[in-house]
Amino acid sequence: AQSVTQLGSHVSVSEGALVLLRCNYSSSVPPYLFWYVQYPNQGLQLLLKYTSAATLVKGINGFEAEFKKSETSFHLTKPSAHMSDAAEYFCAVSLSGTYKYIFGTGTRLKVLA
């Protein structure tokens, strides 16, 4: 069965520092991978998605993620954190041929001034 593991439920970075949020997946077939962001009292919105077209995926707000099959990872990065990046981030996986999306447990990003 497919699953997603997010390492670190809380991550703090200084404004202007690199953001790295970790996601590892488990899947017996090539997965489709997603990162979503949730701001307080809002629904989730898509940051970026991997659907096998390119291993380095660029998303909105300066975020990007790299699919590494050998490491079964899909880590999210941003070169320079901004205060507005403070939110909850979710990694998710879906399997081709299914309608099921499985979410990780989330990582809360705190940006320090």
Partner 1 sequence: DTAVSQTPKYLVTQMGNDKSIKCEQNLGHDTMYWYKQDSKKFLKIMFSYNNKELIINETVPNRFSPKSPDKAHLNLHINSLELGDSAVYFCASSPVEVTGELFFGEGSRLTVL
The footprint of partner 1 (CB under 8 A) covers 32, 34, 36, 38, 41-46, 49, 51, 88, 90, 92, 94-103, 105-106, 108
Shortest distance, CB of residue 3 to partner 1, whole angstroms?
Answer: 13
Q: Which is nearer to partner 1, 17 or 49 (CB)?
A: 49
Q: One-letter amino acid identity for 73? A: S
Q: Which is nearer to partner 1, 15 or 69 (CB)?
A: 69
Shortest distance, CB of residue 94 to partner 1, whole angstroms?
Answer: 5
Alpha-carbon distance of 49 to 44, in angstroms, equals 14
Q: Which whole-number Å values give the CA distances from 65 to 61, 78, 108, 109, in the listed order?
A: 12, 9, 17, 16
Joined together, the tokens standing for residue 32 give 């489709």
Contact 30, 96 (CB under 8 A): yes
Shortest distance, CB of residue 7 to partner 1, whole angstroms?
Answer: 15
Alpha carbon of residue 88 to chain centroid? 10
Q: Which is nearer to partner 1, 80 or 105 (CB)?
A: 105
Shortest distance, CB of residue 67 to partner 1, whole angstroms?
Answer: 13
